[in-house]
C-alpha cells in the first residue's frame, strides 16, 4: 500500500458539518453588507508581488517573512495574496471604477495566504471577510463600519466583544511623532529584537507592532501618536468617537494599536474577544486615504476592515449541528423495478426543492431505515414490489411514526405538499 498523502502543514479541510456553519456566517455577513449598500467583488488569488510590497510596506512582517512569492515562467515575481485590500484598490484603479462613481462599496470573501507559524485559529491558507468603502472621507463612515462589525458579531452570538480604537494621524502630523518615537527608540536598542533594531531607523512605527514580549515591555513608555495629531486628525478622531457613542457602541482607546500594514492613516481599529479565554483580535481595519494614489489612481480617501473567518468560526456562539442540512425525505426502494420507479420521482422531488436522499444499492429495509434515521430524515418513502403492484407508496413520519399509503400516481407532488405542510395530510 502506498503511503497516504496528507495536508500541507498550515492548511485545513473544511468538512461537511463545518461547511454548513461557514455558509451560515457568509449568508449573515452578506445580508448585512448588502443592507448597507455593499456589492460583491471577486478577485484573483495571484497578483504581482510589487502590489503588496508597495501597499503593505517592505518593512512589514508580511512582506519580509510571510508572503508566498515565486517567479513565474517569465521570471516575474508573483505572490499569493496575503490580504485583500491591495487587490481591491488595484481593481478599482485598473477598471476606472471611480469614473462610474467615485464612491464604491465592496465586500469580498475568500482565502488569503501567509507563511507564518500555524497555531489554533491561524493557518497558512486562511479566510477573510472584507468590506471596503472607497471615495468617502467622512468620519461617520468609519463609525458605521465599526457598527456593522459589532452588529455582525452580535448576530453570530460572539461574546465579550471589545472595540479598540486609535488614530495614526496623517502625513502632516505623523513626521513629528516619528521623530519623537525615533528619539525614544535610540536608547532601547539593547532591549529590542534584531528586527526592531533594524526597523527603528527606517520605519519606527513598525516597532509598535512587534509581538515579541520583551519589545512590548520596552515600548511601554513610548510616546503616543494621539498627542501629536493635527487639528484635522483630532477632529476626525473625535467625530468617530462621538458617532460610536450615538450608536451605543462602547470602545477603548488603544494608543498602541497600529495594525501591521503601512497604508493605514487616521482611524484604525480592532474587534477583540475574550470568548476563548485569551484576548484575540477577530477583525480589524482602518482608513487608508493615501493608498489609491500610491498605487497609481486618483487621490481618493478609503477605509475598510477584514474579519478572520477561521477565528470567527471558533468564537461564534453557534451550534454546528443546527446548520447541518437533513433530508426532507429518504427514499427506501426495495427491488430492481421499485428502485427504478423511485429513482425517477426522487429526482422530481429534488427539482421541486425537496431535499431528498436515496440509496439505490439494493440494501434491506432494516438497513435503509437505519440510514434514514442516522441522516435525520423527516420522512421515509417506502416502495417495494408489493407497493409497486398496488400502485402506492408508504410514507412514514420519522418523528411521530405515523405511516400512510399514498397513490403512486403524482407521488412527487403529493410528498412535496406533505413536506411543505409539515403534516401527513397535505
* Tens of pLDDT, residues 330-371: 999 998 899 999 999 999 999 999 999 998 888 899 999 999
Q: How far is CA 172 from CA 141, 147, 167, 285, 295, in A?
A: 22, 28, 13, 21, 20
d(CA 277, CA 149): 21
Convert the pLDDT of each residue in 216-241 to its tens digit.
888 877 888 899 999 999 999 999 99
d(CA 17, CA 320): 7
Question: 165 in a domain, yes or no?
Answer: yes
Convert the pLDDT of each residue in 237-269 to its tens digit.
999 999 999 999 999 999 888 876 678 899 999
- pLDDT band for 121, please (50, 70, 90 cuts): low
Structural domain ending residue among the three candidates 280, 303, 320 = 320
Structural domain ending residue among the three candidates 301, 320, 339 = 320
Question: 212 in a domain, yes or no?
Answer: no
Output phi, psi for 169, to 5 deg.
Answer: 70, -160
Cell reading at 318: 453557534
Question: 187 in a domain, yes or no?
Answer: no
Task: Provide the domain limits for residue 339.
Answer: 326-421
Does the pTM surpass 0.85? The reply is: yes
Question: 12 in a domain, yes or no?
Answer: no
Are 383 and 315 part of one and the same domain? no
Structural domain ending residue among the three candidates 320, 346, 370 = 320
Are 264 and 377 part of one and the same domain? no
Question: 7 in a domain, yes or no?
Answer: no
Residue whose C-alpha cell reads 477565528 in the numeric block:
311
Output phi, psi for 395, to 5 deg.
Answer: -110, 120
Are 133 and 238 part of one and the same domain? yes
Are 272 and 145 part of one and the same domain? yes
d(CA 132, CA 48): 21
- Least Cα distance to 265 among 308, 232, 219, 306 occurs for 232
Are 304 and 376 part of one and the same domain? no
Domain tally for the chain? 2
Question: 198 in a domain, yes or no?
Answer: no
Question: 4 in a domain, yes or no?
Answer: no
Residue whose C-alpha cell reads 520583551 in the numeric block:
214
Beta carbons within 8 Å of 80's beta carbon, 6+ residues apart: 45, 46, 67, 68, 112, 113
Are 147 and 56 part of one and the same domain? yes
Sign of CA dihedral 271, 272, 275, 280: positive
Q: How far is CA 117 from CA 10, 77, 128, 129, 203, in A?
A: 8, 23, 18, 21, 24
What three-state secondary structure class fits 208?
Answer: helix
Are 293 and 166 part of one and the same domain? yes
Cell reading at 31: 445580508
Amino acid at each position: 500500500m502506498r503511503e497516504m498523502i496528507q495536508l500541507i502543514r498550515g492548511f485545513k479541510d473544511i468538512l461537511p458539518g463545518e461547511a454548513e456553519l461557514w455558509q451560515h456566517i457568509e449568508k449573515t455577513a452578506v445580508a448585512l453588507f448588502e443592507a448597507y449598500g455593499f456589492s460583491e467583488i471577486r478577485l484573483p488569488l495571484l497578483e504581482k508581488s510589487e502590489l503588496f510590497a508597495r501597499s503593505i510596506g517592505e518593512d512589514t512582517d508580511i512582506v519580509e517573512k510571510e508572503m508566498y512569492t515565486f517567479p513565474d515562467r517569465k521570471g516575474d515575481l508573483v505572490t499569493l495574496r496575503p490580504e485583500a485590500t491591495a487587490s481591491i484598490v488595484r481593481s478599482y484603479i485598473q477598471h476606472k471604477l471611480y469614473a462610474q462613481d467615485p464612491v464604491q462599496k465592496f465586500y469580498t470573501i475568500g482565502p488569503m495566504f501567509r507563511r507564518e507559524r500555524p497555531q489554533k485559529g491561524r493557518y497558512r491558507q486562511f479566510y477573510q471577510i472584507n468590506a471596503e468603502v472607497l471615495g468617502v472621507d467622512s468620519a461617520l463612515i468609519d463609525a458605521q463600519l465599526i457598527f456593522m462589525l459589532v452588529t455582525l458579531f452580535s448576530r453570530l452570538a460572539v461574546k465579550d466583544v471589545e472595540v479598540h480604537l486609535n488614530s495614526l494621524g496623517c502625513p502632516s502630523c505623523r513626521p513629528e511623532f516619528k521623530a519623537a518615537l525615533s528619539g525614544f527608540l535610540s536608547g532601547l536598542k539593547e532591549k529590542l529584537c534584531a528586527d526592531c533594531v533594524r526597523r527603528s531607523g527606517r520605519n519606527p512605527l513598525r516597532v509598535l507592532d512587534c509581538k515579541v514580549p520583551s519589545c512590548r515591555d520596552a515600548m511601554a513608555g513610548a510616546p503616543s501618536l494621539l498627542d501629536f495629531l493635527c487639528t484635522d486628525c483630532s477632529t476626525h478622531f473625535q467625530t468617530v468617537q462621538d458617532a460610536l457613542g450615538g450608536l451605543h457602541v462602547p470602545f477603548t482607546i488603544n494608543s498602541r494599536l497600529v495594525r501591521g500594514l503601512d497604508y493605514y492613516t487616521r482611524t484604525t481599529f480592532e474587534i477583540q474577544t475574550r470568548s476563548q479565554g485569551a484576548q484575540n483580535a477577530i477583525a480589524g481595519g482602518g482608513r487608508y486615504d493615501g493608498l489609491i494614489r500610491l498605487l497609481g489612481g486618483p487621490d481618493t480617501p478609503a477605509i475598510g476592515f477584514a474579519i478572520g473567518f477561521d477565528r470567527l468560526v471558533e468564537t461564534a456562539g453557534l451550534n454546528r449541528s443546527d446548520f447541518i442540512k437533513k433530508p426532507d425525505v429518504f427514499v427506501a426502494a426495495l427491488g430492481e423495478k421499485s428502485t427504478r420507479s423511485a429513482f425517477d420521482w426522487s429526482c422530481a422531488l429534488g427539482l421541486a426543492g425537496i431535499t431528498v436522499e436515496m440509496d439505490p444499492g439494493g440494501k434491506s429495509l432494516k438497513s435503509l431505515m437505519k440510514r434514514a434515521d442516522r441522516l435525520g430524515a423527516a420522512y421515509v418513502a417506502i416502495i417495494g414490489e408489493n407497493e409497486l403492484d398496488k400502485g402506492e407508496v408508504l410514507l412514514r413520519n420519522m418523528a411521530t411514526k405515523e405511516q400512510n399509503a399514498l397513490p403512486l400516481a403524482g407521488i412527487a407532488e403529493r410528498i412535496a405538499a406533505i413536506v411543505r405542510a409539515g403534516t401527513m395530510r397535505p
